[in-house]
Amino acid sequence: MSSPEIERLIQMLAKLPGLGPRSARRAALHLIKRRNSLLDPLASAMAQAAQSVTICGICGNLDAADPCGVCADDRRDRGQVCVVEDVADLWALERAASFKGTYHVIGGTLSALDGRGPEDLNIASLLTRVATGEVTEVILATSATVDGQTTAHYISDRLEDLSDEKGAGLSITRLAHGVPVGGELDYLDDGTLSAALKARRPV
Amino acid sequence: MNWTDEGIVLSARKHGESAAIVTLLTRENGRHSGLVRGGYGSRARGIYQTGNLVSAHWRARLSEHLGTYSCELLQPNAAMLMSERLPLLALTSAAALVERLLPEREPHPDTFASLSALIEILEADENWLPRYVEWELGLLNQLGYGLDLTECAATGSTDDLVFVSPRTGCAVSAGAGTPYQEKLFDLPTFFMTSDPAPMSEDIDMGLRITGHFLARCAKDADAGDLPTSRARFVDRVARGARD
């Protein structure tokens, strides 16, 4: 039997994605054995993050500052806004380092099953951003799932309405769906192949 | 207990970290749910998209258990419709209606056949909207809430049928219905003649009529309101008519 403090640590670790009770126990033991090199720095980093990390009031990104580093960066093109479902998607696009515009995190997808409607997503603030007239292109980078694309179509409808009202030429685009770089056709699933064929373009 | 059948994916709900509870409309076993281990993971998620046709193997120790599915993709219908705004909404609306209204684990081969046909039409036929309304009429029939449009409910006449009674679902002739027309639905002409390209007002009225009876069916089955995906589809159709 371990002490209540250790049990609590194990219980909290077991709530993390990818960890069950057994692996949480191993992680807890690992941390406790390396108190100086791991446990103390980790506890301090977590306390600091809990205190300083906030949600960006413009785009919904997570950062220690509001507005976040992306929104505050003058070198970025504020005319381009890439709409993503989650902060993890924003990080993925930033890793690719091929997009120099700004982002908007909507916080999920429309889902009839989960009872998540437009009012539960960060869509109103996107429309407010676009209404200022600074944005010239909105890139819908929602996931290639039925829920993701239903959300993209919904946002596209709302943006078209806004564009019609303002009389401004807003360009609405979405990410391409198809063959990944390095992907061999033989190994691709039928859905990806069908989408790729449907979205073929002249060479 | 185990069986193998073809099924159309109606929904996949995340369960735990990477598993999914998948509901299929199968050809011989009706609407049937099961657990798919790894079904919400990045590898398998594409298979369990609404509308996809899969070959499913269901297994459980006892027949009343949830059981587990292992599926193989047969037709990637979701991928074909993903870029099409209105057909995608129609697909999600149809799947949500079947999931909400069809009793679980009862064979409904007609509903399976009609949903398969509807998905084919959504992919191939540009003028699919009236076929969607007809599909909802067919679903009402299969659920025991079919409309009787053969004769006037009041006079028995088969001529000049221009209204539908919201109470009985029967047709009403112009002569008998005109004094009560504010309380009756106008009968869309394509309900009677299978017009391949009906007016948008007729489509709207058709969706109002089927929506009224589907809502009644949902209420009787204690299934709550109609799914929000249908409301979103109907709104988009009305918006399309305005555009």
Please report the pLDDT score of residue B116 as a whole number: 97
Q: Write out pLDDT tens, residues B157-171.
A: 888 899 999 999 999
Mean pLDDT across B185-190: 91
- Asked if B30 contacts B104 with a C-beta cutoff of 8 angstroms, the reply is yes
pLDDT at residue B243 in the model: 56
| Chain CA centroid to CA B158, Å | 29
Q: Do A191 and B46 touch (CB under 8 A)?
A: yes
Provide the token pair at B139: 């679903």
Q: Tell me, what's the pLDDT at A10?
A: 95
Domain ranges of chain B: 2-77, 84-242
Sorted by where each begins, the domain ranges of chain A are 4-52, 76-197
Q: What is the pTM of this model?
A: 0.89
The single-letter code of the amino acid at A65 is A
**Topology given in CATH for the domain delimited by A4-52:** Helicase, Ruva Protein; domain 3 (1.10.8)
Question: Using CA atoms, how far apart are residues B239 and B17, in angstroms rounded to an integer?
Answer: 38
Tell me, what's the pLDDT at B81?
92
- Could you tell me if A135 and A81 are in contact, meaning their C-beta atoms sit under 8 angstroms apart? yes
Cα B229–Cα B133–Cα B80 angle in degrees, nearest 5: 60
Q: How many residues does chain A have?
A: 203
Q: What are phi and psi of B6, to 5 degrees?
A: -90, 145
The ipTM estimated for the assembled molecules is 0.88
- Which of A144, A153, A194 lies closest to B85 in CB terms? A153
* Residue B115 token pair: 């949903």
Q: CB under 8 Å to B71, separation ≥6 — which residues?
A: B7, B22, B36, B47, B48, B54, B55, B56, B57
Question: What are the backbone dihedrals phi and psi of residue B32, each rounded to the nearest 5 degrees, phi first?
Answer: -145, 130
Nearest Cα of chain B lies from the Cα of A203 at a distance, in angstroms, of 21
Nearest CA in chain A to B10: A113
Q: With H, G, I as helix, E, B as strand and everything else as coil, classify residue A77.
A: strand
Q: What pLDDT is stored for residue A168 in this prediction? A: 65
Mean pLDDT, rounded, for A16-23: 91
- Do B76 and A146 count as a contact with CB atoms less than 8 A apart? no
Burial class (CB in 10 A: 0-12, 13-18, 19+), B233: buried
Q: What are phi and psi of B114, to 5 degrees?
A: -70, -35
Question: What is the average pLDDT score of chain B?
Answer: 92
CA distance A145 to chain B (A): 7
Which of the four CATH numbers 3.40.50.280, 3.10.310.40, 3.40.1360.10, 3.40.50.300 does domain A76-197 have? 3.40.1360.10
**Is the backbone peptide bond immediately before B198 cis, with ω within 30 degrees of 0?**
no
> Is a pLDDT exceeding 90 seen at residue A38?
yes
Instruction: Collect all residues with Cβ–Cβ distance below 8 Å to A12 and sequence separation of at least 6.
Output: none
| A112–B contact, CB cutoff 8 A | yes
Does the pLDDT value for residue B242 go beyond 60? Answer: no
The 10s digit of each residue's pLDDT in A90-100 is: 999 999 999 99
Of residues B105 and B200, the one with the higher pLDDT is B105
Residue pLDDT, tens place only, B71-128: 999 999 999 999 899 999 999 999 999 999 999 999 999 999 999 999 999 999 888 9
pLDDT at B198 over 90: no
Contact residues of B toward A, CB < 8 A: 11, 13, 17, 45-47, 49-52, 73, 75-76, 78-80, 82-83, 85, 88-89, 91-92, 96, 227-229, 232, 236, 239
Average pLDDT over residues B30-52: 93
Chain B residue with CA closest to A117: the answer is: B228
Q: Which CATH class is domain B2-77?
A: mainly beta
Q: Which residue has the tokens 């009872």?
A: A115
B50-62 mean pLDDT? 96
Q: What is the pLDDT of residues A139-190, one digit of tens each?
A: 999 999 999 999 999 999 999 988 887 766 799 999 998 888 888 899 888 8
Selected from 1.20.1440.120, 3.30.980.10, 3.30.830.10, 3.40.50.1000, the CATH number assigned to the domain covering B84-242 reads 1.20.1440.120
Which tokens sit at B112?
Answer: 């399976």
B89 Ramachandran zone, left/alpha/beta (phi>0; psi -120 to 50) = alpha
Instruction: Give the pLDDT confidence score for residue B211 in this predicted structure.
Output: 97
pLDDT, position A167: 62
| Interface list for A 161-200 with B (CB within 8 A) | 177, 189-195, 198-199
Instruction: Say whether pLDDT at A127 is over 70.
Output: yes
Give the CA dihedral B117, B122, B124, B128, nearest 10 degrees: 100
Task: With CB atoms and an 8 Å threshold, state whether A18 touches B83.
Answer: no
Give the pLDDT confidence of A84-123 residue by residue, as tens digits.
999 999 999 999 999 999 999 999 999 887 888 899 999 9
